[in-house]
A and B are shown apart, each in its own frame.
Chain A
């Protein structure tokens, strides 16, 4: 009866078809991305958005990736400790603000909102500036401080709301019954605050776990968290490994929530929940201890690089040979590398910059020359790479990888021979063409087709190049850099500018695609290993480079990361089909037709201005 009454009193919005449909849509929008994510973690294809059959290989790959697990461990550790400390600090703050009157109380309450409202990036920069000023080494402690800074106000505000709504007579009753203030705090106040303390803990754990910006600014080379690792992996093409990590995280979160829910129930469920919670805690605890113990050792060598850019098994071998532990830490782009290498005392030994960055780093006087006496294996390096234009002396860099921008196309759709960039201007293929979403790649190509060199920095040439690109624009499907492979595979485009390493991954699974370096020539990249002046451990760095350049090791590295390296002796050790792979090792000739991207300096803003204009046309 009461139920009927209350129902006839409500707004009758709970009954219509509209409500059912909108509820279903809400749930769908909420869950659809997660379902897609989980399904694609079982994708056999390398492409994140193209289904290629069921497979568990990405799970295997994820489980074997040592760096990934280190990143997960780091994230859990940072999130766990910062959430615990934030919760303790937040509870104390909330009690102080909610229970006591003192001068400046409202100011303190207001200040709590500052980290909540302030854009994270400002907080990140402010923390970085502070840590540099205090000369606090960036790493675990600084990240922890950063995370506590932004997460404890959330906890404090959450608990403060609860403290304010709390009836004080409960505490008075306890004191009245003869319980000391401490006993009262433990047995009356804490249980009353428990729900908001638990949600504060979970909340701060989550925001700390997926924090990127503050971590980015406060971390040092020795600490990579999961979000940073994932972001860095994205740079080298999203693989379903990212889906695997996400699926595992969803599973972990789900189990945790289930354990918490069960713990609040009675009887068998509660015991089950307790066991589940204990098991989770035990697994986490053991893996933390194991990984910490295995890391708390000897000399370290810190290398700043891109994710997936060096075979991790080589690090293990190097470690077992020399006892030097190698820590790989990841950048997301060249700008980040430059920034981090030049700011304060960065803590890296070796970094792997692109050609133009070597120039910049040298100008900033951040590099130390190598002592080739201590690197006998330098003799295996292709002489064409020893004195590249960005450092003719050849003392400040060790050539690491190289690659070429070429043209990837679908040979099932294009029957005519493809040997010229001009085909990208062919109106027959309107809407089937993609160019890189990258101003240097596109303008370099246009200059080259017009017979100019962009390094001349001639505005007239630039205008001509702009006109050429403008001509091409109506034919383009899109300017796109990261998803060229996916677009080719879905046959949205037949042609696309592509890097050879990227094309290699596509062609390995789908042989109908071809890769050529058109006869007009192209842009080439060469990544290099450089030694920082501030390197804490230059001896280990020399040892490591000599180890890396041994042909057997370079060969292994090439096979793992699938990038060409200028080490002919190593190439001889590769399996035949890899050695003769024209995509992995495009013919370079005397390299006169290939240009390594230089630092365009003051010409860059002009290129950028044309590029912005072009894209907005």
Chain B
């Protein structure tokens, strides 16, 4: 469907996008995720045609669109600030694209009615953009882009200007809309929750480069890089070394921070002595006053901070080896204000299963 091949964008000596290659399939809800300045918007603007790549090609289906101006591409965009035309009513805004292409008037009004109904704004057709709420403007922007039946719809952080409740509700609506229309969506965001809830596939970008491109589940469970792991959710990292094989072939050993020995299920992807990073998410850890079982890993430490977050409690634990880690404990057992009656300064075991966590080799 869309093929981005070795695309780079340089502004003087600054590199905004560095040799990115991606394939996006027809009907896919594809998400570009990254912090601000990672090049995701530049990449989107190159797909839309507002910027020309410094090198590389972009193909849409069988056409090379790298040098085609935006108004001749079968691609439409929903802008971050919506970019509605303030001097046109909702109806005229939505009809803009069809009018520019000189559609017959009867067809325009039919298609605009449909598009307005699709986004649920039938009562507001005669309003001006200034009279609409943020969420309503968002829908107008969507209808305005979708009415052209593009092969590809680009969305540039469309929910970032909305308040939390509406933005969460819009996530599901967007996902439904995408499923209903079958149009390929490319969605740019810095919000990992949006990416996780809506996308079929997510690409994580950093400093103009692709860090990882995978489904949300895989991205979360098997992040390929430390950056991807940290950006999607959070993770505790330990520097480690692979230990020589023991008797047991189901697991291998890692020496964390040169002190603690842990076991990890599976086969080591490297020779003993290789440096790795071991990462484990806070919610994969639990705390206990009891020592770990033999099929578990455990580190001993002291609770130093204690933050109640409603659904869970975030604990900061000062490990014996001096490292600070985060543990997220679901609040299924509350005694007074404390999770399982754990208090600050209490000495606890931090325990996890031998199957949990990721081992990152390329560090």
- B-contacting residues of A (Cβ < 8 Å)? 167, 169-170, 172-181, 183, 187-188, 191-192
B56 located at the interface, meaning its Cβ lies under 8 Å from any Cβ of chain A in the complex: no
- A-contacting residues of B (Cβ < 8 Å)? 48-50, 69-72, 75-77, 79-81, 83-87, 96-97, 100-101, 144-145, 148
Residues of B within 8 A of A176 (CB): 48-50, 70-71, 75-77, 145
Verify A188–B85 contact, CB threshold 8 A: yes
Please give me the residue from chain B that is nearest to A183 by CB atom: B100
Verify A167–B100 contact, CB threshold 8 A: no
B135 to chain A, nearest CB (A): 19
Verify A173–B100 contact, CB threshold 8 A: no
Residues of B within 8 A of A170 (CB): 83, 85
Verify B70–A180 contact, CB threshold 8 A: no
Verify A173–B148 contact, CB threshold 8 A: no
Residues of B within 8 A of A167 (CB): 81, 83
Verify B100–A169 contact, CB threshold 8 A: no
Verify B96–A174 contact, CB threshold 8 A: yes
Verify A179–B97 contact, CB threshold 8 A: yes
* Option from A172, A180, A191 in Cβ contact (under 8 Å) with B79: A172
Verify A175–B69 contact, CB threshold 8 A: yes
* Option from B76, B84, B100, B148 in Cβ contact (under 8 Å) with A180: B100
14 sampled A-B residue pairs with Cβ under 8 A: A169-B79, A169-B80, A169-B81, A172-B79, A173-B84, A174-B100, A175-B70, A175-B71, A176-B48, A176-B71, A176-B77, A177-B148, A178-B100, A183-B100
* Option from B76, B87, B101 in Cβ contact (under 8 Å) with A192: B87
Residues of A within 8 A of B49 (CB): 175-176
Verify B81–A177 contact, CB threshold 8 A: no
Verify A180–B83 contact, CB threshold 8 A: no
Residue among A170, A177, A179, A192 with the most chain B CB within 10 A? A177
Residues of B within 8 A of A192 (CB): 86-87
* Cα–Cα, bound, A295→B81 (Å): 58
A438 to chain B, nearest CB (A): 61
Residue among A178, A181, A191 with the most chain B CB within 10 A? A178
Residues of A within 8 A of B76 (CB): 176-177
Verify A177–B87 contact, CB threshold 8 A: no
Residues of B within 8 A of A183 (CB): 100
Residues of A within 8 A of B83 (CB): 167, 169-170, 172-173
B130 to chain A, nearest CB (A): 14
* Cα–Cα, bound, A404→B75 (Å): 88
A414 to chain B, nearest CB (A): 74
* Cα–Cα, bound, A167→B86 (Å): 12
Residues of A within 8 A of B96 (CB): 174, 177, 179, 187
Q: Please judge, given known A-B contacts A188-B85, A191-B87, whether A177 and B69 are in contact too, CB under 8 Å.
A: no
Residues of A within 8 A of B70 (CB): 172, 175-176
Q: Please judge, given known A-B contacts A172-B83, A173-B83, A191-B87, whether A179 and B100 are in contact too, CB under 8 Å.
A: yes
Residues of B within 8 A of A179 (CB): 71, 96-97, 100
* Cα–Cα, bound, A179→B49 (Å): 13
* Cα–Cα, bound, A167→B50 (Å): 14
* Cα–Cα, bound, A178→B100 (Å): 7
